[in-house]
Amino acid sequence: MGLSIIMPCYRGERFIEHSIREVERIVSKFCKDFEIIVVVDGFVDKTYEIAKKLEEEFNNLKVVGYEKNRGKGYALKYGLKFCNGKYVALLDSDLECRPETLKWFIEKIKNNNIDIIIGNRKNRKSIVKYPKLRKFLSYGFVFYVNLMFPELKVKDTQTGIKMFKKEILEDLFKEFERLNLSYRYSFDVSLLVLARRKGYTIKDSPCIVVKEDNGNNLNGLKLINIIYSMGKDIIKLKMRLK
């Protein structure tokens, strides 16, 4: 197996079928050896039932999950044990980050022997369409993160599309467990900080990001509250890694 795509999903009953079909349609154009692992992060609606039915149609689809919501990071860790691919992509299931981006990722990680590829919305070749407030808060958060962790030197930590060599991701999750780090708000930053400290190569790539109304959108106040919670988690992370 060449590529495993983990798609964590919480409250996705409105969009999960469309997302699975889109990933199948798009990725099959440039990768003939891939699988999709949908991880339902909490059985709070009909996401699991809707996605599970599609296993009958797509033999490269696995739908797994658990009862209680535990955060995107934990969902990715849980999904990893079902992956058979040499490379593992992390893709937000609302497809805000478009799966077409994975074509650039898989070519870059194979041809340049890179450990980790992450989407960079600031790249001049990226196609980004989402609200100005969100863009402003996102850029401010990345500045804050790099101030807290100068060794990181990453221009975009939070884009919901990343790719790893499988053995690298397995090693990073072992380190997560050893250090008892949070799988919630600070997850993406924690993963990249650990990777940098362990000497793994991290490169960014252009990406396609389009924020559409899928029923899961956040208003400005909720988004600011999330950014605030993320900021507090970063401080906790800094203390933990000391």
Query: Domains in the chain, start-ordered, CATH in brackets?
Result: 3-241 (3.90.550.10)
- Look at 101 and 134; give whichever has higher pLDDT: 101
The CA distance from 227 to 186, in Å, is 10
Q: How confident is the model at residue 155 (pLDDT cuts 50, 70, 90)?
A: very high
For tokens 């797509």, what's the residue?
A: 58
User: pLDDT at position 134, please?
Assistant: 77
User: pLDDT at position 159, please?
Assistant: 93
DSSP 105-151: HHHHHHHTT-SEEEE-TTSTT-EEE--HHHHHHHHHHHHHHHHH-TT
pLDDT at 26 over 60: yes
User: pLDDT at position 137, please?
Assistant: 79
The single-letter DSSP state of residue 97 is B
pLDDT at 215 over 50: no
Lowest mean pLDDT among 138-142, 177-181, 198-202, 211-215: 211-215
For tokens 């992509």, what's the residue?
A: 89
User: pLDDT at position 214, please?
Assistant: 46
Q: How confident is the model at residue 131 (pLDDT cuts 50, 70, 90)?
A: confident
Average pLDDT over residues 190-196: 96
Beta partners for residue 165, in sequence order: 87
The CA distance from 113 to 105, in Å, is 12
Q: Of 47, 46, 27, 30, which Cα lies nearest the Cα of 38?
A: 47
Mean per-residue pLDDT of the chain: 92
